[in-house]
Amino acid sequence: MRYRLLSALIISAVAVVEAAPATATAEYDYIVVGSGPGGGPLAADLARAGYSTLLIEAGGDEGDNPTYAEIAWFNEAANDEATRWDFWVKHYDDPEEDRKFKHTTWDTGDGTFYVGLDPPEGAKYLGIQYPRAAVLGGCAMHNAAVCTLPADDDWNIIVNKTGDASWSASNMRKYLKKIERNQYLPPGDPNRGYDGWLATSVGPTDWARNSSNPATTILKKLAALTGQDETRAADLLGTDILTEIPNLDETSSLYNLAQHADSTGKRNSPNNYVRATLADPAKYPLTLKLHTLVTRVLFDESTVGVPGVTPRAIGVEIMQGQSLYKADPKHNGQTAPKSQILAAREVIISGGAFNSPQLLKLSGIGPRDELAKFNIPLVKHLPGVGENLGDNYEGSLLAMGQTPVNSGLITAVFRTPNAPDARRNIFTWCGAFSFEGFWPGFPTWHGAEQYTCALVHMQPKSQAGSVTLRSADPQDVPEINFRFFKNQGDQDLEELVAGANILREAINSVPEPVAPFVERHPCEGDRRESGDCGEEVQKEYFKSQAYSHHATSTCAIGGEDEEMAVLDSKFRVHGVRGLRVVDASAFPVVPGAFPSCPTMMISVKAAEDIVAERKAEEGAAARM
C-alpha cells in the first residue's frame, strides 16, 4: 500500500499572541517544556498560583481546528501533518522479527510511503510508526480521549518505592476530582468533580436494550464469559468506568467508556486549560511560546563538576521556528539560531516518554558511557534515563459479518483465567470499526461488515525498552526500541490469546443473517474451523502484530537507593537542583490501560507539590 509522504506545507494557526523572542536576560520563575497532559496543566496551575511561568511548545495551536476539536475526527488528527511527529520505532532487537509487522513502513523516495511486507526496490526502511503530536495540548489533542484510571497497585508502587504516602491510590483519587467537570452524573457525588477544567462525558447505551440487535447478543455473551449476569448486561454497560467501589481492580465488568470531551463531542484537553488561563481577566503570569524547540537545559557552571556541590538548572537553550525537529514530516533541513531563557526557580521537562529522556541526555544527565560517546559533558550520571520504557501490548480481533453489525460501543475490563494474580488484565472495546495499529493513513476500511474487538493488555511484565541518542544534534530523533515480550513474554502472550478467545466466542454467538463471521485475525480465514489456529499460532500472531501507543516510564520515579531511578517522589531529578520531569515518563510502571488522564492527574499533583515547597520556603524566609 502506498500513502502520501508529504502534502502541501500546513502552517498552524496560532490562537494566542506569542511573546517576543527571549534573550538570556529574560527570566521567569518556572519554565515548563512541553504542553501536553504533563506540562500544560502544570504551567497553568503555577501561573494561577501567582508565579511567572513560561510554557514552551514545539508545535502550534490547533484548538480551533475541527479536526482536533471534534473527537469524532481523532484518526484524522493523528494522521495530520500539521502536528504529527513520526517516531519510527523498533519492537525487537532482531530486525527480522520487526519486519514481520504487516504495517512496517518504508520511504519509497518518490514522496510516498509504502506500508507492508514487500517494499519496492530501493525503498528505505523506516520501521513501525509511533505518531506523537507537536501541538498545544500534546497527544491529548489527537488521541481518542479515553479517560480511565490505573489500578490501585500502579499508584501504590510509588509509595512502596519512595515512602511518600501522598501517592497512595486513595489520595490520588482527589486529583481526578480536582480537574474533572463531569457532564454525565447527577451532581453531588462526593468522589467526583463538577467544576474542574476537564470535561468528561460518556456515549449512549440505549441500543443495548434492543434484544434484536446483533451487538446485544455479543454484549450478553461477553458478560456471561466474564462472570457477569447476562440478563443485566444492558444495565452493566451503563456502569461508570471511573467509579470507585471496593475491589474494583479485581471486578470484571462491562462499562460505559468515559472520554475527556464534553457532552457535545468537543475534545477537552490541556489546550483548553492553557488558553483559558491566558484569556482570564485575572491576567495570570503565564507566557506561551509556540514553535520553539528546546535544545538543552542550562546549568550554573559554577555548580557542575565541583565536588560536594549539586548541579543547578538555571534555564533552557532554544531554537525558534516551525518544523525544526526531524520527526516532523514537514522538516526539510531547516535550522535556526540558538538563544537562552533563564528560570529563577526551576526548569520542568514535560516532553513525554521519548523527548524527556532525550532532552535530559542532551543536557548531560544520563548514562555516562552514552553521553561520552557523543562528547556530551556529564552533569549527572543517571543510568536509568531512557531505560525502563514500557507500554501496553495492544491487538485486535477483526471479523467480517455477512451483513453489517449495527452496534454501539461495548467496553469491558476483565480478568482472563490465566492471569497471574487477581487483577483484571484485559481492557477491550468492540464495535463496527477497524483498528489494527498505526501506519501512515491508518486505519484500513474493510467494509460495512467489519467488526472489531480491540484489546489492551494491562500490567505488562516486560519494561525492557529504551530511548537512546543517535547523535548530539537536538534536532535529531532518538533510537526507540520497546523490546516487546523480552521478560516473561510467554505469560503476556498467553494472556492476550486468552482474551482473544473470550472475545471470539462472544462475537461468534451472533446468529444469522449476520453470522457466520469470517475472521481476519488473529485466526485468518478458515484456520479456526480447521483447527489450525491454536494457542501457539495466536501467540505468534500477537508477537509479530502487537502494537502500542502509551509509552511511559523512561524517567521513572524511584528511591534514592535505586540505581535506575531518575526522579524522586516530587518529580525532582536525582542529584540535581532546580530540575523536574512531569509527564508519563515518570510512572515506574505503565499506569493501567490509558495514561492520558492519569498524566493530567500527576500534573496537578506536581503543581501542588511545587507550590507547597515554595510556600514553605517563603514562610521560612519570613521567619528569619
Position 277 confidence tier, pLDDT thresholds 50, 70, 90: very high
Task: Tell me what the mean pLDDT of segment 372-386 comes to.
Answer: 98
What's the average model confidence in pLDDT over 525-544? 82
**Spatial contact of 64 and 19, defined as CB atoms under 8 Å apart:** no
Average pLDDT of 325-341? 97
Q: Which one-letter DSSP state was computed for residue 170?
A: H
Contacts of 581 (CB under 8 A, 6+ apart): 348, 349, 350, 356, 360, 555, 566, 567, 571, 573
Sequence-distant (6+) residues with CB within 8 A of 482 are 89, 90, 91, 389, 390, 391, 465, 548, 551
Q: Which of 597, 624, 604 is nearest to 149 (CA)?
A: 597
pLDDT of residue 205 exceeding 70, the answer is: yes
**Amino acid at site 297:** V
Model confidence at 103: pLDDT above 90: yes
- Indicate whether 406 pLDDT > 80: yes
The H or E element that residue 482 is part of is: none
Residue 137 near residue 266, CB atoms below 8 Å: no
Asked if residue 456 lies in contact with residue 394, where contact means CB atoms within 8 angstroms, the answer is yes
What does the pLDDT average to over 506-515? Answer: 95
Whether 14 shows a pLDDT value over 50: the answer reads no
What does the pLDDT average to over 20-32? 70
Q: Quick one: average pLDDT of 448-458?
A: 97
Contact between 435 and 450 under an 8 Å Cβ cutoff? The reply is: no
- Percent of the chain scored above 90 by pLDDT? 91
Cis amide leading into 516 (omega within 30): yes
Bridge partners (DSSP) of residue 413 are: 253, 427
Q: Tell me: pLDDT of 4 over 90.
A: no
Cα dist from 285 to 179, 288, 407, whole Å: 20, 10, 48
Q: What is the pLDDT of residue 181?
A: 98
Task: List the alpha helices (DSSP H) in 261-367.
Answer: 270-279, 352-362
**Structural domains in the chain plus CATH codes:** 204-256+393-457+485-545 (3.30.410)
Q: What are phi and psi of 341, to 5 degrees?
A: -130, 135
Say what the pLDDT of residue 531 is. Answer: 64
Helix (H) or strand (E) holding 97: helix 95-98
pLDDT over threshold 50, residue 17: no
**Cell 525487537 -> residue:** 92
On whether the CB atoms of residues 455 and 503 are closer than 8 A, the answer is yes
- Give the model's pLDDT for residue 12: 34
* Cell output for 512: 444469522
pLDDT at 13 over 60: no
Interatomic CA distance for residues 456 and 522, integer angstroms: 15
| Alpha carbons 609 and 462: distance in angstroms, whole number | 31
Cα distance between residue 483 and residue 489, in whole Å = 10
Residue 18 has pLDDT above 80, yes or no: no
Contact 150, 390 (CB under 8 A): no
* Contact (Cβ atoms closer than 8 angstroms) between residue 326 and residue 58: no
**Collapsed DSSP state (helix, strand, coil) of residue 221:** helix
Q: How far apart are CA 248 and CA 246, in angstroms?
A: 5
- Longest CA–CA span in the chain (Å) reads 82
What is residue 26's predicted lDDT score, i.e. its pLDDT? 62
- What is the 3-state secondary structure of 188-228? CCCCCCECCCEEEEECCCHHHHCCCCHHHHHHHHHHHHCCC
- Does residue 3 carry a pLDDT above 80? no
Question: Burial letters for 316-330: b for 16+ Cβ neighbours within 10 Å, e otherwise?
Answer: bbbbbebbbbbbbbb
312 in Cβ contact with 577 (< 8 Å) = yes
Nearest to 423 by CA among 602, 247, 171, 555: 247
Higher confidence at residue 528 or residue 228? 228
In this predicted structure, what is the pLDDT of residue 99? 95
Q: What average pLDDT score do residues 449-455 get?
A: 97
C-alpha cell at 189: 457525588
Residue 535: the pLDDT is 93
pLDDT band of 20, cuts 50, 70, 90:
very low
Look at residue 6 and tell me whether its pLDDT is greater than 70.
no
What is the model's pLDDT at position 621? 84
**9 falls in which pLDDT band (50, 70, 90)?**
very low
Q: Which of 54, 55, 38 is nearest to 139 (CA)?
A: 38
What is the spatial distance between Cα 234 and Cα 382, in angstroms, rounded to a whole number?
Answer: 51
| Average pLDDT of the chain, as a whole number | 94
Angle subtended by helix axes 535-545 and 489-507, to nearest 10: 110
Provide the Cα torsion 123, 125, 129, 134; round to 10°.
-80
Q: How confident is the model at residue 231 (pLDDT cuts 50, 70, 90)?
A: very high
CB 456 within 8 A of CB 593: yes
What is the grid cell recorded at 401? 459479518
Give the model's pLDDT for residue 204.
94
Q: For the residues 244-251, what does the mean pLDDT come to?
A: 94
Q: Give the Cα separation of 527 and 537 in Å (integer).
A: 10
- The pLDDT value recorded for residue 23 is 45
